Amino acid sequence: MASKSATTVVLDRVTATLSPATMLLGPSVAAASYLCEAYYEIRATHERYGLIVRINPDELHCADPRFTDEIYSATPGRVCDKWLHQLGGARTGPAAATGFAALSHELHRERRAPLSRFFSRQQMLKLEGEVLDFAHRTVDKMLRNANTRRVFDVKDAFNCFTADVISQHAFSADMGFVGQAGWGPCFATWVRTRLHETTIADLTYDHDLIVL
pLDDT at 12: 55
pLDDT at 56: 82
Least confident of 115-119, 129-133, 172-176: 115-119
Residue 54, in any domain of the structure: yes
Query: Is residue 23 located within the same domain as residue 68?
Result: yes
pTM above 0.85, yes or no: no
Query: Is residue 37 located within the same domain as residue 4?
Result: yes
Residue 175, in any domain of the structure: yes
The answer to whether residue 22 scores a pLDDT higher than 70 is no
Query: Is residue 7 located within the same domain as residue 73?
Result: yes
Sign, Cα dihedral of 57, 59, 62, 66: positive
Residue 209, in any domain of the structure: no
**Distances in whole angstroms, Cα of residue 164 to Cα of each of 2, 30, 156, 183, 197:** 44, 38, 12, 12, 25
Nearest to 31 by CA among 46, 18, 48: 18
Residue 3, in any domain of the structure: yes
**Per mean pLDDT, which of 69-78, 87-96, 114-123 is the most reliable?**
114-123
What mean pLDDT is predicted for residues 2-27? Answer: 56
Residue-wise pLDDT tens digits, 178-191: 999 888 888 877 77
Query: Is residue 72 located within the same domain as residue 85?
Result: no
pLDDT band at 16 (very low <50, low <70, confident <90, very high): low
Residue 112 amino acid letter: R
- Helices and strands (DSSP H and E) totals, the chain: 10, 2
pLDDT at 17: 53
Nearest to 178 by CA among 153, 194, 158, 160: 160
User: Considering its fold, how many domains does the chain have in total?
Assistant: 3
pLDDT at 6: 53
pLDDT band at 2 (very low <50, low <70, confident <90, very high): very low
Query: Is residue 23 located within the same domain as residue 65?
Result: yes
Query: Is residue 42 located within the same domain as residue 112?
Result: no
What mean pLDDT is predicted for residues 100-105? Answer: 83
Residue 208, in any domain of the structure: no
pLDDT at 132: 94
Query: Is residue 67 located within the same domain as residue 94?
Result: no
Query: Is residue 37 located within the same domain as residue 67?
Result: yes
Q: Range of 98's domain?
A: 79-119
pLDDT band at 136 (very low <50, low <70, confident <90, very high): very high
Query: Is residue 72 located within the same domain as residue 5?
Result: yes
Residue-wise pLDDT tens digits, 48-88: 888 888 888 878 888 888 888 888 777 777 788 877 767 76
The answer to whether residue 205 scores a pLDDT higher than 50 is no
Residue 207, in any domain of the structure: no
| More reliable by pLDDT, 29 or 50 | 50
Domain end residue (candidates: 62, 97, 119): 119
Residue 137, in any domain of the structure: yes
Query: Is residue 150 located within the same domain as residue 170?
Result: yes
Query: Is residue 51 located within the same domain as residue 25?
Result: yes
Query: Is residue 60 located within the same domain as residue 107?
Result: no
Residue 171, in any domain of the structure: yes
Domain end residue (candidates: 119, 146, 181): 119
pLDDT band at 208 (very low <50, low <70, confident <90, very high): very low
Q: What is the CB neighbour count within 10 angstroms for residue 91? A: 15
pLDDT band at 135 (very low <50, low <70, confident <90, very high): very high
